[in-house]
């Protein structure tokens, strides 16, 4: 299967995507790990539903068992009150983590911001009554963080003075300045793309008061502080659109968010057990744990995706195909969930023609729901056609994806690879594999 090299852009293009995704760890020193596999923070990486296949490293010379592959494909993720998106990079340890903190959850008063350096934008004092503030934690070395930044910038433009976005990093000023001077896309630096405030938390006071207090051990992670100064939502910034809109418009259901957050925490409490079961290839036991969670929590987003991952890893193709069909029907009006399902199916192992038909149905519906204007979804649709062997349709849809790709080079490269295969000047699979150097493809 082809592994496309457009991880960072794709995540940033999701907008308000409600999709289940991935990206992975760093070492304990706060730098990206060279491996595409997640680094353990404390113990093995936790289980996350719906991690696409292409997260995995290129096949090593020594084969691994299905259990090892399944376990290694699981990244760390923050607890978020909805379907997990790109799992977060673990934060590097700091000595200040021994400092006692007051637990923080949805509905609690937002801790004051303790910021020493305001890198971009004017400094602000506290939270404005009647205003909304988003406090988002990031780092220059964190791929998912960088992928989220253009989207956060668009939201800042959209909401203007109604919402203040503040990006908090623990890095040194010169590191941040160097990052801002780099080119984000052709003809534009990060400093020109980012429209919101960036700050440096030199003492870790803000990280402790928010991240540690809320039990969040990975970035990116955003906190929405509502009009009354309470924390209204905690989660991945690529999933912030819906909650933010509801909070701004005074239509937010905080009680539902609290319940969803609690459900996610319950899922996380089972991560260690599921990880061990996957590693030992005890598929029946792992699936039984998922069934228990479904009975206990109800239709929590992500559980069906987790079950599908287990069935796929266990090579239970018939059961996996049946579940894929059920997931398409149950998410018929959710374009990003359909997109995720189509993408992971198309790039999956041991995928049948029937599976690809399900993927095509999901991708086609997702494209319709987004008025054929979402580059990520159009790229998925093209990819499904490519996997089916319909190169003409793949090229046609990839051309449309390029129209909405905002100059993304990877989307263009994919189109050229398809065309090269059509013209007999190369293999799309070989071309794309040869140029794929990113950690993982994210949807």
pLDDT tens digits for 76-91? 333 333 333 344 556 6
Among 250, 277, 306, the domain boundary falls at 250
Check residues 2 and 321 and name the one with the higher pLDDT: 321
What pLDDT, on a 0 to 100 scale, did the predictor assign at position 176? 97
The reply to whether 118 and 137 lie within a common domain is yes
**What is the domain extent for residue 36?**
7-83+263-435
What is the rounded average pLDDT of the residues 19-30? Answer: 30
pLDDT in tens, 144-174: 999 899 999 999 999 999 999 999 999 999 9
| Domain-embedded: residue 2 | no
pLDDT for position 182: 93
Secondary structure, 3-state, the chain: CCCCCCHHHHHHCCCCCCCCCCCCCECCCCCECCCCCCCCCCCCCCCCCCCCHHHCCCCCCCCCCHHHHHHHCCCCCCCCCCCCCCCCEECCCCHHHHCCCCCCCCCCECCCCCCCEEEECCCCCCCCCCCEEEEEECCCCCHHHHHHHHHHHHHHHHHHHHEEEEEEECCCHHHHHHHHHCEEECCEEHHHHCCCEEEECCCCHHHHHHHHCCCCCEECEEEEECCCCEEEEEECHHHCHHHHHHHHCCCCCHHHHHHHHHHHHHHHHCHHHHHHHHHCCCHHHHHHHHHHHHHHHCCCCCHHHHHHHHHHHCCCHHHHHHHHHHHHHHCCCCHHHHHHHHHHHHCCCCCCHHHHHHHHHHHHHHHHHCCCCCHHHHHHHHHHHHHHCCHHHHHHHHHHHHHCCCCCHHHHHHHHHHHHHHHCCCCHHHHHHHHCCCCCCCC
Please, what is the average pLDDT of the chain?
77
363 and 422 housed in the same domain: yes
CATH number at residue 391: 1.25.40.10
Give tens-digit pLDDT for 296-311.
887 766 788 889 889 9
Structural domain total, the chain? 2
User: In CATH, what number is assigned to the domain containing residue 211?
Assistant: 3.40.30.10
pLDDT higher than threshold 50 for residue 116: yes
305 and 377 belong to one structural domain: yes
Pair (162, 308) in one structural domain = no
Q: Quick one: 188 and 279 in the same domain?
A: no
pTM recorded for the entire structure? 0.61
Amino acid 430: pLDDT: 65
Residue where one domain finishes, among candidates 250, 281, 311: 250
222, 359: one domain: no
* Per-residue pLDDT at 239: 86
Which pLDDT score is estimated for 322? 93
Averaged pLDDT for residues 238-258 = 92
Average pLDDT, stretch 197-218? 91
Q: Which of 200, 221, 250 is the last residue of a domain?
A: 250
pLDDT at 193 over 60: yes
């Amino acid at each position: 299967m082809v592994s496309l090299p457009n991880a960072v852009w794709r995540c940033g293009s999701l907008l308000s995507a409600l999709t289940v995704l991935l990206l992975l760890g760093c070492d304990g020193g706060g730098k990206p790990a060279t491996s595409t596999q997640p680094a353990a923070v404390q113990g093995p990486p936790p289980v996350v539903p719906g991690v696409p296949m292409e997260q995995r490293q290129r096949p090593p010379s020594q084969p691994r068992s299905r259990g090892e592959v399944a376990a290694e494909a699981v990244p760390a993720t923050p607890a978020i009150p909805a379907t997990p998106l790109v799992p977060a990079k673990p934060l590097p340890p700091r000595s200040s983590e021994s400092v006692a903190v007051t637990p923080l959850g949805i509905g609690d008063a937002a801790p004051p911001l303790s910021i020493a350096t305001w890198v971009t934008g004017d400094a602000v004092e506290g939270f404005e009554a009647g205003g909304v503030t988003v406090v988002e934690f990031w780092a220059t070395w964190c791929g998912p963080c960088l992928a989220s930044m253009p989207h956060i910038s668009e939201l800042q433009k959209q909401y203007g003075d109604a919402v203040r976005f503040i990006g908090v990093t623990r890095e040194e000023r010169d590191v941040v300045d160097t990052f801002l001077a780099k080119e984000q896309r052709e003809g534009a630096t990060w400093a020109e793309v980012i429209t919101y405030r960036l700050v440096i938390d030199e003492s870790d006071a803000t990280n402790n008061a928010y991240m540690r207090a809320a039990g969040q051990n990975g970035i990116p992670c955003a906190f929405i502080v509502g009009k009354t100064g309470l924390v209204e939502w905690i989660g991945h910034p690529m999933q912030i659109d819906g909650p933010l809109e509801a909070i701004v418009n005074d239509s937010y259901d905080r009680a539902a968010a609290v319940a969803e957050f609690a459900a996610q925490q319950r899922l996380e409490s089972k991560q260690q057990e599921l990880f061990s079961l996957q590693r030992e290839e005890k598929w029946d036991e792992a699936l039984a744990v998922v069934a228990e969670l479904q009975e206990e929590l109800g239709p929590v987003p992500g559980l069906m995706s987790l079950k599908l991952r287990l069935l796929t890893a266990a090579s239970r193709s018939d059961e996996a195909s049946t579940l894929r069909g059920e997931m398409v029907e149950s998410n018929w009006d959710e374009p990003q969930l359909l997109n995720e399902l189509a993408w992971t199916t198309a790039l999956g192992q041991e995928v049948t023609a029937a599976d690809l038909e399900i993927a095509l149905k999901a991708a086609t519906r997702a494209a319709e729901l987004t008025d054929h204007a979402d580059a990520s979804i159009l790229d998925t649709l093209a990819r499904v056609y490519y996997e089916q062997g319909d190169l003409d349709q793949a090229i046609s849809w990839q051309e449309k994806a390029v129209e909405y790709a905002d100059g993304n080079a990877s989307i263009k490269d994919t189109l050229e690879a398809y065309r090269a295969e059509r013209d007999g000047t190369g293999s799309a699979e070989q071309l794309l594999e040869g140029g794929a150097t990113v950690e993982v493809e994210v949807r």
